[in-house]
């Protein structure tokens, strides 16, 4: 029995973590007992006031957290809008450079066919760059039925019976960005 007490004393001396845990457990038990005694001592009205104060505190913290989230979200949205078109602008820079070079070359050029060919090349490069970003040309060929969801009628011309309600001419081309119409085609329709 003496050996057991000696071993127990040695293990307590060599295990300070166990001692701290025992002290923490005793403090927790005492704290819980004190809280129970306080709850018993509080009147129902005081309990309700404490609960209301606690609920109000939680509400204020949640509200301020939401406001911070909303402000942060708005700030991120503004930043995104500012930089959203930067990749498109970067891809259009070579086309602008091509226009600058064509302008310089055209000052010395006397051949109109070469000038037209150069501008056609630049135009095609610009269209391909925009198509790569999702821009699509709206089909508005002569004789296509008029669609008020895609076309804007500029005027009507009396014409043949078979062209009634159909596109006669396109004044301004329409475009899609993905599946969304970003510019309606302005057309002349038959009456």
Residue 18 maps to a domain: no
Contact residues for 65 (Cβ-Cβ < 8 A; gap 6+): none
Cα→Cα distances 170→121, 146, 173, 175, 183, Å: 24, 11, 7, 13, 13
The DSSP secondary-structure symbol of 145 reads B
Residue 107 maps to a domain: no
Q: Are 187 and 146 in contact (CB under 8 A)?
A: yes
More confident: 137 or 28:
137
Dig out the tokens for 52 from the structure: 């209301």
pTM for this prediction: 0.51
Pairing of strands 175-177, 180-183: antiparallel
Which residue, chain included where needed, has tokens 């301004």? 172
Check which CATH number belongs to the domain holding 159 and give it.
2.30.22.10
Confidence of residue 112 (pLDDT cuts 50, 70, 90): confident
Residue 148 maps to a domain: yes
Residue 35 maps to a domain: no
Dig out the tokens for 121 from the structure: 């090349």
Q: Stretch 145-159: mean pLDDT, rounded?
A: 84
Residue 89 maps to a domain: no
CA pair distance 147, 168, nearest whole angstrom? 13
- Please report the DSSP string for 115-129 in residue order: HHHHHHHHHHHHHHH
Residue 142 maps to a domain: yes
Where in the sequence is the domain holding 147, given as residue range(s)?
136-191
CA pair distance 129, 116, nearest whole angstrom? 20
CA pair distance 135, 128, nearest whole angstrom? 9
More confident: 118 or 67:
67
Total count of domains within the chain = 1
Provide the percentage of residues in the chain whose pLDDT is more than 70.
79
More confident: 4 or 102:
102
As a whole number of angstroms, the longest Cα–Cα distance in the chain is 122
Residue 88 maps to a domain: no
Evaluate if residue 148 carries a pLDDT over 70.
yes
């Amino acid at each position: 029995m003496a050996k057991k007490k000696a071993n127990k004393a040695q293990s307590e001396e060599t295990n300070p973590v166990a001692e701290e845990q025992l002290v923490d457990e005793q403090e927790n038990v005492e704290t819980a007992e004190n809280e129970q005694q306080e709850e018993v001592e509080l009147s129902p009205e005081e309990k309700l006031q404490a609960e209301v104060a606690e609920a109000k505190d939680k509400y204020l913290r949640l509200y301020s957290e939401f406001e911070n989230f909303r402000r942060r979200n708005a700030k991120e949205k503004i930043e995104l809008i500012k930089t959203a078109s930067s990749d498109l602008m970067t891809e259009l820079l070579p086309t602008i450079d091509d226009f600058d070079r064509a302008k310089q070359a055209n000052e010395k050029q006397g051949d109109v066919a070469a000038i037209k060919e150069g501008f056609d090349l630049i135009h095609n490069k610009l269209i391909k760059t925009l198509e790569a970003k999702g821009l699509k040309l709206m089909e508005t060929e002569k004789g296509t039925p008029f669609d008020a969801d895609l076309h804007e009628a500029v005027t009507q011309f009396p014409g043949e019976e078979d062209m009634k309600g159909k596109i006669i001419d396109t004044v301004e081309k329409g475009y899609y960005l993905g599946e969304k119409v970003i510019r309606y085609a302005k057309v002349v329709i038959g009456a």
